[in-house]
């Protein structure tokens, strides 16, 4: 029986392409993008040119026609160099593209998928001030006016908002129906009444844009409804279940990147006449980190394989995100300790990875929410 981490020849080739791209094109820009809190536009164009923004979009729409697992491999490899770039690509593939591909009408697919694969960034506008872990506690509303819908509301902490050309906006068409009134709308950036507001000044993943999105009298037609009226909760739940695997892959890649930096430094840094990697205390630290990273990889890959096989994966996705986000923080912290004083400075990359790791336990479902999901599946 092959290990879950075993990759096919095609998957290895794809992973190596992403790894090479990350080292050559992303690595030289990481510090600059972090300091300026902005994704380099030229880099974003190169990411599109590589096909990374449309991995499992069918070839007929200009995508790569790949698998969900390939998206996970890509997210992991990008995150090993820069988690901020990784999350931009992650949201595009696991949330936005995924939702349009699964619930979009023929017309919506034809209109949006070719652009999402080649030039347009998408954004997933669900969260609000009072709708975080309680995702369906949103107050954004959509009222019917003739054959149109008029949307009003304020979305917060929206990833990719600064670059996005289209937003998946979740709003309630009838607050008395609770979550059964929630509907998903495809709203173009240039639509009158949509405004991208304040950009958050964040601890980590700073190059990834996180903004307020204000909708004031935004008018869209029936053709903007993604899926069915009142079924937006289904779009959200099912895409976020898969998105958890993506975040797990991001945290896995981050942890692997931190471990790689620590190992390289332990080989070349000398104290007391020998490399610090020869001291058992450092060896034990690196060994523990390696075990945690490999365990996280097994969980993430298993969840992704189950999803591609059409099998139940929700509990496994929650486990993958919960564990990978936990060990990412731990591994990045211990990597700084291996570096010692210089690890605390911005001269070396591990302090950034440590800052980037914190969000993994928060977004797309906090660690406590993952525990809830795991426990419910155990007890049902």
- The confidence score (pLDDT) of residue 291 equals 98
Mean pLDDT over 350-357 rounds to 98
Share of the chain above pLDDT 70, in %: 99
> What are the backbone angles phi and psi of residue 336, rounded to the nearest 5°?
-60, -40
Task: Tell me the per-residue pLDDT of 175-192, one tens digit each, with 9 for 90 and over.
Answer: 999 999 999 999 999 999
Q: Does the annotation count 364 as an active-site position?
A: yes
When divided into structural domains, the chain yields a total of 3
Domain presence at residue 1: no
Whether 244 and 113 share a structural domain:
no
* Half-sphere exposure in the Cβ direction for 82 (13 Å, CA): 28
- pLDDT, mean over the chain: 97
Label residue 5 by pLDDT band (50, 70, 90).
confident
CB-based contacts of 175, cutoff 8 Å, min separation 6: 139, 141, 181
Domain boundary among 229, 250, 283: 229
3: confidence class by pLDDT, cuts 50, 70, 90: low
> Residue ranges of the alpha helices (H) in 124-279?
232-268
Residue pointed to by tokens 């939702």: 99
Same domain, 66 and 190: no
Same domain, 251 and 369: yes
Give 123-164 pLDDT, tens digit per residue.
999 999 999 999 899 999 999 999 999 999 999 999 999 999
Q: What is the pLDDT of residue 231?
A: 97
pLDDT of residue 1: 40
Over residues 111-131, the mean pLDDT reads: 97
Nearest to 100 by CA among 111, 88, 87, 86: 111
pLDDT higher at 3 or 87: 87
Cα–chain center distance at 359: 11
The residue annotated as part of the active site, out of 77, 128, 292, 364, is: 364
Task: Provide the CATH number for the domain around residue 196.
Answer: 2.40.110.10
Residues 240 and 375 in one domain: yes
Q: How far apart are CA 316 and CA 306, in angstroms?
A: 9
Domain termination site, one of 120, 150, 182 = 120
Instruction: Summarize the confidence of residues 93-104 as an average pLDDT.
Output: 98
Distance CA 296, CA 299 (A): 5
- Domain stop point among 174, 196, 229: 229
The CA-atom distances, in angstroms, between 214 and each of 76, 87, 198 are: 32, 22, 10
* Residue 2 is assigned to a structural domain of this protein: no
Residue 85 and residue 143 share a domain: no
């Amino acid at each position: 029986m092959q290990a879950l981490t075993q990759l096919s020849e095609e998957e290895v080739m794809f992973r190596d392409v992403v790894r090479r791209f990350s080292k050559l094109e992303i690595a030289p820009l990481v510090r600059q993008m972090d300091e300026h809190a902005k994704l380099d536009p030229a880099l974003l164009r190169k990411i599109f040119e590589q096909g990374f923004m449309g991995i499992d979009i069918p070839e007929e729409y200009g995508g790569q026609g790949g698998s969900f697992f390939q998206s996970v491999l890509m997210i992991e490899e990008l995150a090993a160099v820069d988690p901020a770039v990784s999350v931009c690509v992650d949201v595009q593939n696991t949330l936005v593209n995924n939702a349009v591909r699964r619930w979009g009408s023929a017309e919506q697919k034809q209109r949006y998928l070719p652009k999402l694969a080649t030039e347009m960034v998408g954004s997933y506008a669900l969260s609000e001030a009072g709708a975080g872990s309680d995702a369906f506690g949103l107050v954004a509303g959509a009222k019917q006016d003739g054959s149109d819908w008029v949307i009003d509301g304020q979305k917060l902490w929206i990833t990719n908002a600064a670059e996005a050309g289209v937003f998946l906006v979740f709003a309630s068409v009838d607050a008395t129906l609770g979550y059964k009134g929630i509907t998903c709308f495809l709203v173009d950036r240039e639509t009158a009444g949509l405004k991208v507001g304040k950009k958050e000044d964040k601890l980590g993943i700073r190059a990834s844009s996180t903004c307020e999105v204000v909708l004031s009298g935004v008018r869209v037609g029936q053709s903007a409804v993604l899926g069915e009226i009142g079924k937006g909760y289904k779009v959200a739940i099912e895409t976020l279940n898969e998105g958890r695997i993506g975040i797990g892959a991001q945290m896995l890649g981050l942890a692997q990147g931190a471990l790689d930096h620590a190992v390289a430094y332990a080989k070349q840094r000398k104290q007391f006449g020998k490399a610090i990697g020869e001291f058992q205390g450092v060896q034990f630290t690196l060994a523990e980190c390696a075990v945690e990273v490999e365990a996280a990889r097994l969980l993430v890959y298993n969840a992704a394989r189950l999803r591609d096989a059409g099998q139940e994966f929700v509990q496994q996705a929650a486990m993958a995100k919960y564990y990978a986000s936990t060990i990412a923080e731990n591994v990045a912290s211990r990597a700084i300790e291996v570096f010692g004083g210089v690890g605390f400075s911005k001269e070396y990359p591990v302090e950034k990875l440590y800052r980037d790791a914190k969000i993994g336990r928060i977004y797309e479902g906090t660690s406590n929410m993952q525990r809830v999901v795991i426990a419910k599946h155990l007890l049902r």
